[in-house]
Structure 1
Amino acid sequence: MSEAARGPALTCVGSSMVDLISYLERMPAQGETVFGRDFAQGFGGKGANQAVMAALLGGRVAMVNTVATDSFGRDTIENFRSFGIDVGFMRQVEGTYSGVANVLVDPDGGNRIILGAGANEFMTEDQVDSAFAGLPEPALVLSQLEIPQPVILRGFRHAKASGAITVLNPGPAAPVRPEILELTDWLVPNETEFALLFEAEFGQAPGDLAAGAGKFAERIGSGLVITLGEQGAVLVEDGGSLRWFDAPSVRAIDTTGAGDAFCGAFAYSLASGSDAAEAIELAIAVASDSVTRRGTQTSYARGAALAALVRR
């Protein structure tokens, strides 16, 4: 398929992990050992998940990331290739391990996740420079907080120099360098991440979401979309007013990676020329659908099932 016949170009300067997922009857208490009722291993990491979702939707995605020389690292690169993702600027380094995520899933589909960043911490600004020098100019650059913030900053500077849209998913929850926020066109936190960012900016909790979201968006000057899980998402519009988007009612089996499905679809849709409302509607559709299946990337719709979601 020619480039002209395919979707928009996106560059993900982000993370990759191998997910080790245990399905439990209940979460263990401190010092307690419980039996799991099932186990799965798969590919994850916020950057990788979002890149995969964008690629499934038809984006021409390039991944900038670092893995180790272990089997997880080799398998991660091959997994990206299987989705048609450009891995020309993936690096492998020795002396560490590829990123891992230990995921505990309860019977209601909720999860608790323990990350080991490993090789993700070895990403460098020079690596980002090389990627942007060697790749076609992207329509959008996407990042998350599972990699060093100087690397994100370098990627966003390149994005701005080429006129690309920048999207930051500030997860896992952590303060974000002001220089990054200044270069961010769209910030997409969940409620927990938004509360932390608000407190870092104003020195207090946001309180009412409606008032806090508008105040925060005005301060940072970026587009703001807050994801609300099963309640959908909220868009802060010009002037600080909020537009609410409901999620369909579904039976959640595993919510792991749903937020990443949202971000990947949102980024793809923006890069395709959609407005924020259209992008949110698509993102909610694919994220809500993903929680009805187990796993992370394996839970993402594809083929005819994904085409049906897009049409709706």
Structure 2
Amino acid sequence: MPNFTSHRGLFVGLVTLDLIYLADSPPRNNQKIAATDYTLAAGGPATNGAVTFSYLGNQSQVLGVLGCHPITQLIRGDLTNYQVAIADLEPSIITPPPVSSIIITQSTGDRAVVSMNAAKTQASSGSIPANILQDIDIILIDGHQMAVSITIAEMAKAQNIPVVIDGGSWKPGFEQVLPFVDYAVCSANFFPPNCNTEAEVFRYLSGFSIPHIAITHGEQPISYFSTHTMGTVDVPQIQSVDTLGAGDIFHGAFCHHILQESFTDALARAAEVAADSCGSFGTRRWMEV
């Protein structure tokens, strides 16, 4: 890993347990299949971003709902292994955390996912721990804890802490976060209300005076709008083993690089990290290669 100055990042959003299988293909109706490999890890966009940010030499903290169900020990163990701290918005709840089952197609690296998001585990802004932003250098919001995210974004703006959104898909309430955002890094599946094209998405986000906007397209170049300039950033071309979590990893790497590089350079470096992650099965093994 490169020797950069260590920073502190807060990653706000979804915490899941991911059960990940490698197989020839997803099962058809009423079919049983055997996996050729299997792994288990904490998941969710903010969570995987936090793990990446920590792996790159920083201090990460996830702000989300975990609770005290026995399954949460598996999540805690994984995050402890990667030195990611947890700020639990609902530490006393006994319901199980969201669990995702994911099948990776061995020949292509494509993924099929069945998951629960945070719809049943929404926390209120009153659950935010005191002094949560103390000494924080950057914040990422994935939109899965919207009430908390709105408050955190407003607090961050008042303290001049840069805010990044992971716009994997549009979620109601994002419009209340966007006025406080410095970097909107979205997928090609991110379509705000009444937006049907990429140009309309750029116009919508620019209407909130967000200074830096990017839209990723998997293995295709990243589109961006920054300092009144539009352009593209090329991404590495690789043979993917597993694309699971690549977007989350991209965002965690972006949070690392944007604290020391330009917007376009940070996008390019984040794309390199995400491409590297696609060369190994699961969301963690690329860190061990």
TM > 0.5 fold call: yes
Aligned mate of 2:208, from 210, 213, 220: 220
Query: 1:59 Cα deviation (Å)?
Result: 1.6
Which amino acid in 1 is paired with 2:41? G
| SS of residue matched to 1:269 | helix
Give the conservation status (yes or no) of the 8 Å contact 2:22–2:103.
yes
Equivalent residue number for residue 27 of structure 1: 26
Q: How does 1:286-301 map to 2 (within 5 A)?
A: 286-296=273-283, 298-301=284-287
- The answer to whether residue 146 in structure 2 is matched with residue 153 in structure 1 is no
| SS of residue matched to 1:49 | helix
Indicate how the Cα distance of structure 1 residues 80 and 40 shifts in structure 2: closer, same or farther if over 3 A, else same. Answer: closer
Q: Distance in 2 between matches of 1:247 and 1:224?
A: 17
Indicate how the Cα distance of structure 1 residues 175 and 154 shifts in structure 2: closer, same or farther if over 3 A, else same. Answer: same
Q: How does 1:31-50 map to 2 (within 5 A)?
A: 31-38=29-36, 39-50=38-49
Q: Distance in 1 between matches of 2:238 and 2:34?
A: 24
Q: Distance in 2 between matches of 1:213 and 1:251?
A: 30
- Structure 1 runs (4+) deviating above 4 angstroms are 88-91
Equivalent residue number for residue 13 of structure 1: 12
TM-score by length of 2: 0.88
Give the conservation status (yes or no) of the 8 Å contact 2:54–2:83.
yes
Indicate how the Cα distance of structure 1 residues 165 and 54 shifts in structure 2: closer, same or farther if over 3 A, else same. Answer: same
Aligned length: 283
Equivalent residue number for residue 112 of structure 2: 112
Q: Distance in 2 between matches of 1:73 and 1:37?
A: 24
Equivalent residue number for residue 144 of structure 1: 142
Which amino acid in 2 is paired with 1:236? F
Give the conservation status (yes or no) of the 8 Å contact 2:169–2:189.
no
Structure 1 segments unaligned to the other structure (5+ residues) = 306-312
Aligned mate of 1:177, from 165, 174, 179: 174
Indicate how the Cα distance of structure 1 residues 88 and 178 shifts in structure 2: closer, same or farther if over 3 A, else same. Answer: closer
> What is the percent sequence identity of the aligned residues?
20
Which of 116-125 and 96-105 deviates more?
A: 116-125
RMSD: 2.4
Q: Distance in 2 between matches of 1:214 and 1:118?
A: 27
Equivalent residue number for residue 86 of structure 1: 85
Q: Distance in 2 between matches of 1:204 and 1:179?
A: 17
Q: How does 1:1-312 map to 2 (within 5 A)?
A: 7-29=6-28, 31-38=29-36, 39-87=38-86, 89=88, 91-106=90-105, 107-117=107-117, 121-128=121-128, 130-131=129-130, 133-134=131-132, 136-145=134-143, 147-193=144-190, 196-197=191-192, 200=193, 203-206=194-197, 209=198, 211-222=199-210, 223-239=212-228, 241-270=229-258, 272-296=259-283, 298-301=284-287
Give the conservation status (yes or no) of the 8 Å contact 1:286–1:300.
no
TM-score by length of 1: 0.82
Indicate how the Cα distance of structure 1 residues 59 and 16 shifts in structure 2: closer, same or farther if over 3 A, else same. Answer: same
Give the conservation status (yes or no) of the 8 Å contact 2:102–2:114.
yes
1:146-195 deviation line (CA, Å, top 9, x unaligned): x23111101111211211000111234434432111111111111012xx
